[in-house]
Amino acid sequence: MAFDSIQLEVFKHRFAAVAEEMGAVLRKASFSPNIKERRDFSCAVFDAHCKMIAQAAHIPVHLGSMPLSVKAAVQAFPHGLEPGDMVILNDPFMGGTHLPDITLVSPVYLAPLESGHSELFGYVASRAHHADVGGMSPGSMPVAQEIYQEGLIIPPIKIMQAGSLKDEIINLLLANVRTPRERLGDLRAQIAANQRGEHRLVEMVSSFGRELVKTFMADLLDYTEAMTRELIRTLPNGRYAFQDFLDNDGVTDSRIPIQTTITIHEDTAQVDFTGSAPQQRGSINAVYAITLSAVYYVFRCLLGLDVPNNEGCLAPIEVIVPPSSVVNACHPAPVAGGNVETSQRIVDVLLGALAQAAPGRIPAASQGTMNNITIGGAGDQGPFAYYETIGGGMGALPGQNGGSAVHSHMTNTLNTPVEALEYAYPLKVQRYEIRRGSGGGGKFRGGDGIQRDIQVLCDAQVTLLTERRSTQPYGLDGGELGKPGENCILRGGTQIPIAGKGSYELMAGDILSIRTPGGGGYGQPEKPKDPA
């Protein structure tokens, strides 16, 4: 297949720039530190068939799931979306990930043709993690046993129609959250981001013509598919299996296996999760969209930076997920932690399998958790809901130590700076440092985790969804395991260990201490030289 390589590269960056600019608008206009500071959002561009053409370098766990949300939004309106319409949804069983991730989808129409009808050219979408969407605990990331406990479920409905905001929908949403002013600000930021994306796509077509832009949309999909097939062709034919475990589901203490078998045949790959645990009672179930995103992410990493982020990557890959399993949960399973914790373990097993097919190209396991914290209550300034994920150790690579104190794999967020956190919430950061020695040893060491101690200045409820507290990130090629994480509450000089998943009442002055895992090491540790 022949491509005009220069023009293809130019249009790859043009489409990506639309998504990146959407993200810039969303970040600058948002109210919450979670979006403004941590950048917990994604933006993407789609063609008229709901195929993702470009996604900005935002959140990997949204890579494979956003196209499913766009398709769900379009299918919910069989007579089609009109110019000026915008659909809102967060249902994890309709392409979403978990309830705090709210997606807005907008059709992009071009100026009327000679027939007098406007042409549907594509779609733009934004997804942002809202710090509270209701549910049984502040922050909407509870250890739940059914999805109804996790927050407000939004099926695909129009939040805008013919360019006008539907106030009754906004009022319904805001009546179900703890921090309505912040939610309204973040929703308006998403609306602005989508409108900017619509404008930029129309502007691109005005400059280059609709047929040329359509051609390069299709060519970019074909190019990514061709590059993915070429990557798979470099791997030896065969079956490569790997298994790892989640600590527990927060309801029982049993470890939860996740199993994958990757079969490589010529230029295609089959990824089969048969053997993974059944759907669990606690909120660590992953919906299909999350598992698809993890597969997309792992193969996308092997492709390198020059290949576009689009749906063509999945064309040569078949993904098999048993229904009602921990990697393909069915309604009404709780799923808050599936997006953040189970997604990380899915990546661990995929990389463990691919390490057998591509030795010397795959890193050891990174921390394998996002260390989710939500803290909520009522301070002097009214109700608040703080959410954050905390970085840890990255797995060592062949020829390189792993990075310390970083987010890895399915999250690409930043931290909340101490100044921003203390300004926005009745909280005080007492300690924030690298957890020295937590990375696994080896010829190349795994990265170290983080210790972050947060003092609450008023009575508050904290909920944790964390992993790798009993299991440990694996090393490769003789490298050692990374150290597991630890959670505890410091109260009146006493250290109280707490579980990896749970909800706890804190009193003013208490300190929550989160110590995150290190990454696994790579290669046999070098023996110390004989002093003689």
pLDDT tens per residue, range 41-65: 999 999 999 999 998 876 777 777 8
pLDDT attached to residue 68: 94
| Residue of 123, 110, 3, 129 whose CA lies nearest to 58 | 129
Neighbours of 152 (CB within 10 A): 20
Q: Is the pLDDT of residue 337 over 90?
A: yes
Q: How far apart are CA 297 and CA 307, in angstroms?
A: 13
Q: Which of 391, 387, 381 is nearest to 411 (CA)?
A: 391
Would you state the pLDDT for residue 526?
80
* C-beta separation of 95 from 288 below 8 A: no
The two three-digit tokens of residue 351, written as one number: 């990389």
Residue 101: pLDDT band by 50, 70, 90 thresholds? very high
Q: Using the 8-state DSSP alphabet, how is residue 298 labeled?
A: H
Cis, peptide link before residue 332, omega less than 30° from 0 = yes
| pLDDT for residue 442 is more than 90 | yes
64 has which bridge partners?
A: none
pLDDT of residue 490: 97
User: Measured between alpha carbons, how far is residue 172 from residues 31, 134, 154, 163, 282 in Å?
Assistant: 20, 12, 10, 19, 28
pLDDT of res. 5? 83
**pLDDT reading at 1 higher than 70:** no
Mention every residue, 6+ apart, whose C-beta is less than 8 A from residue 131: 32, 34, 100, 139, 179, 182, 374, 385, 386, 387
In degrees to the nearest 10, what's the CA dihedral of 91, 94, 97, 101? -40
**What confidence category does residue 357 fall into, taking pLDDT thresholds of 50, 70 and 90?**
very high
Please choose, from the candidates 59, 19, 55, 26, the residue with its C-alpha nearest in 3D space to the C-alpha of residue 40. 59
pLDDT of residue 114: 59
Phi, psi of 159 (to 5 degrees): -95, -20
Q: How far is CA 306 from CA 56, 222, 302, 303, 354, in A?
A: 13, 15, 11, 8, 21
110, 253, 274, 463, 515 from 498: Cα distances, Å: 56, 13, 33, 11, 12
Q: How confident is the model at residue 406, as a pLDDT?
A: 96
Token couple for 21: 């600019």
* Band (190; pLDDT cuts 50, 70, 90): very high
- What is the four-CA torsion angle of 463, 465, 469, 471, rounded to 10 degrees? 160
Task: Note the pLDDT of residue 307.
Answer: 86
Domain limits of the chain?
Answer: 5-225, 363-532
Kindly list the strands in the beta sheet with 449-456, ordered across the sheet, starting from the edge strand earlier in the chain: 427-435, 449-456, 511-515, 486-491, 494-497
* 291, pLDDT greater than 70: yes
In this structure, the strands spanning 449-456 and 427-435 are antiparallel
Cβ neighbours for 40, distance < 8 A, ≥ 6 positions apart: 34, 59, 128, 129, 389, 413
More confident site: 55 or 363: 363
pLDDT band per the 50, 70, 90 thresholds, residue 529? low
Mean pLDDT of 429-458: 98
Q: Where are the beta strands (DSSP E) in 216-330?
A: 238-246, 256-265, 268-272, 317-320
Instruction: Tell which phi-psi region holds residue 39, choosing left (phi > 0), alpha (psi between -120 and 50) or beta.
Output: left
Residue 222 to residue 225: CA distance in whole angstroms: 5
Averaged pLDDT for residues 371-382:
93
pLDDT at 379 over 90: no
Cα–Cα–Cα angle for 21, 25, 28, rounded to 5 degrees: 130
The stretch 17-21 carries a mean pLDDT of: 96
123: closest CA among 105, 110, 138? Answer: 105
Helix (H) or strand (E) holding 456, with range, is: strand 449-456
- DSSP-H helix ranges across 209-310: 210-233, 288-303
pLDDT at residue 3 greater than cutoff 90: no
Alpha carbons 389 and 40: distance in angstroms, whole number = 10
Angle between helices 180-208 and 210-233 (to 10 degrees): 100
Q: Is 354 helix (H, G, I), strand (E, B) or coil?
A: helix
Percentage of residues of the chain with pLDDT beyond 90 = 89
Q: What angle do CA 283, 286, 287 make, to 5 degrees?
A: 120
Confidence at 72, pLDDT banded by 50, 70, 90: very high
- The predicted pLDDT at position 411 comes to 86
Residues 218-226, mean pLDDT to the nearest whole number = 95
pLDDT tens sequence across 384-433? 999 999 999 999 999 999 999 999 999 888 899 999 999 999 999 999 99
Q: Residue 519 pLDDT > 70, yes or no?
A: yes
Match 């100044």 to its residue by tokens.
419
Q: Which CA distances in Å does 104 have to 89, 116, 120, 158?
A: 7, 28, 17, 9
Q: 65 near 96, Cβ under 8 Å?
A: yes
Strands 164-165, 382-388: pairing is: unpaired
Cβ distance 262 to 274 under 8 Å? Answer: no
Which residues make beta-bridge pairs with 257? 245
What is the structure's pLDDT at 532?
55
- DSSP 8-state class, residue 38: T
Among 397, 392, 394, 393, which residue's Cα sits nearest to residue 363?
397
